[in-house]
Amino acid sequence: MATRYIPTIGLEVHVQLKTRSKMFCGCPVEYGAEPNAHTCPVCLGYPGALPVMNETALRMTALTGLMLNCKVAEICKFDRKNYFYPDMPKNYQISQYDQPICDKGGVPLHELAYPKDAQKTIANPNKIVKLVRIHLEEDVAKSAHFEASSGIDFNRAGTPLMEIVSEPDLDSPEEAFAFLTALQQILVYGGVSDADMEKGQMRCDCNVSVRPEGTTELGTKIEIKNMNSISGVRRALAYEIERQTKFVGKGGSLAQETRRWDDGLGQTTLMRIKESAHDYRYFPEPDLLPVDTRVFMDEVRSQRPELPAEKKARFTEVYGITDYDASVLSSDRALADYFEAAAATAPKAKTLANWISNDLLSALGAANEPLSDCKIGASQLAGLLGIIESGVINARQGKEVFLEMFATGKDAAVIVEEKGLKQESDSGAIEALCAQCIEANPKAVEEFRAGKAASINFLKGQVMKLSQGKANPALVGEILVRLLSV
């Protein structure tokens, strides 16, 4: 019988912090600026230039530590990590070695963080993926290769970079996907990073190995470098697990190597074989003093936001909305804020949650528009629901008004007026339509009288049609029953 192989995955995630200036100099951090527009002797690595610590970056990393339940060190220090790389002219990176700012902690996974097609088959619900540490370092410059030359852009050099290292605690590509999604949400919640992988604000290296089921010793670790999308991480890991399983299954023995993922080809290819462990000759950075985090921790603690899981619990409790709606709404901080702003004046929070997680999100998806560009303000959506609730228009007309609001940003009341959409609630007028309908549909009438209750729905539909959708459906039902039971 064929041996089953168990994958083990660990991730190293580099996250660019959303500070205004760089880690050790005053140059601005700006995405998409003209190459080499933001440089100085410190971030260009001139000999003798002295680094000055960015306190905001330290606070943001400590805040991340609090949000991920890490132990924030009272004292941390910076070290030089020595290696040669063309995009790092000083030949060392200022990083943290044996005294990082955050230790341990974890990332809680939740259902909606998994890929859609895997949400029904979660192996470990509510798993918390353990972290080893979070440390702070500086980013390097960015090289670009052209046909006959190469260029280096130093705008990125010296940008504050948080490195979040997980334990080899992930069991599947789907869990890795959920880990990155949940982590990204928390980072955005805390305002420490926009964590957009496509913009390189969050980058991920994956370590993956397979071992025969029933054994405990981990297999040979293969590293996949520089992943730049969450779905790419999932695909790369799935490919690599299959490749390793086949190879080891045939009796092959893997070498420790670094591979790169080609998303177009859908495969990993060899970058380099690790012949020995790197020796970076770490030593304490002589130009920077150790940091005492106690100086700012009280303030950082007061800045810890309510996190997605906590928000979700509060939403179900305070607003009485479903677990599912609460998960959707709390998965994104801006969406959660939108919901709460609208709930302040909406007639029913439950109906509101429904409109946001169905109508609003699908309209945004179809228009490929972020919530920040949405033309319907939170109070405007609450206004629409108020008009529906008061019976001026019915739910079907409400959908029509909603789409018009989405396209134009006009208030619901204005659209109702302009389109003459008022729901017909004049019982005399509706009664006339009902009578007309009973006259025209003797078969349904007969069935209803013979006890087939569902026939009333057919008649109701006919009356709605006659009224061109304007009749108050509840009133139509009432009047039909009254007329039919005499």
Q: Which residues bind Zn ion (CB under 5 A)?
A: 25, 27, 40, 42-43
11: part of which helix (H) or strand (E)?
A: strand 5-16
Looking at the Cβ atoms of 42 and 466, the one nearer to Zn ion is 42
236 binds, among Zn ion, Mn ion, none (CB under 5 to 8 A by kind): none
Residue 346: which of Mn ion, Zn ion, none does it interact with, CB under 5 to 8 A by kind? none
Q: Are 47 and 26 in contact (CB under 8 A)?
A: no
Helix then strand count (H, E) for the chain reads 17, 17
Interface stretch with Mn ion, choices 104-112, 161-169, 281-289, 336-344 (CB under 5 A): 161-169
- Which residue has its beta carbon closest to Mn ion? 163
Which of 78, 355 has the CB closer to Mn ion?
78
CB nearer Zn ion, residue 27 or residue 73? 27
One residue of 139, 163, 205, 240 binding Mn ion per CB under 5 A: 163
Q: Taking the chain, what is the end-to-end CA distance rounded to the nearest angstrom?
A: 76
Instruction: For Zn ion, give the closer residue by CB, 78 or 177.
Output: 78
Q: What is the nearest approach in angstroms of Mn ion to the Cβ of residue 232?
A: 20
Cα 184 from chain centroid?
Answer: 6
For residue 135, the minimal CB distance to Mn ion (Å) is 8
Q: Which of 443, 456, 454, 452 has the alpha carbon at shortest distance from 484?
A: 456
Query: 425 is written with which tokens?
Result: 């609630």
Query: Shortest gap between Cβ of 198 and Mn ion (angstroms)?
Result: 20
Instruction: Tell me which stretch binds Mn ion (CB under 5 A): 113-121, 155-163, 274-282, 439-447.
Output: 155-163
Question: What is the DSSP pairing of strand 222-227 with strand 257-262?
Answer: parallel
- Structure-block tokens of residue 113: 């963080």
**239 — alpha (psi -120 to 50), left (phi > 0) or beta?**
alpha
Contact 135, 163 (CB under 8 A): yes
Partner that binds at residue 163, options Mn ion, Zn ion, none, CB closer than 5 to 8 Å by kind? Mn ion
Nearer to Mn ion, 163 or 169 (CB): 163
| Binding partner at 481 among Zn ion, Mn ion, none, C-beta below 5 to 8 Å by kind | none
Task: Check binding of 205 to Mn ion (CB under 5 A).
Answer: no
Which helix (H) or strand (E) segment holds residue 131: the answer is strand 128-138
72 binds, among Zn ion, Mn ion, none (CB under 5 to 8 A by kind): none
Residue 25 binds which entry of Zn ion, Mn ion, none, CB below 5-8 Å type-dependent: Zn ion
DSSP string computed for 65-117: HHHTTPEEPSEE--EEEE---TT-TTSEEEE-SSS-SEES-EEE--GGGS-GG
Cβ closest to Mn ion, residue 134 vs residue 476:
134
Under the rule (CB under 5 A), what is the footprint of Mn ion?
163
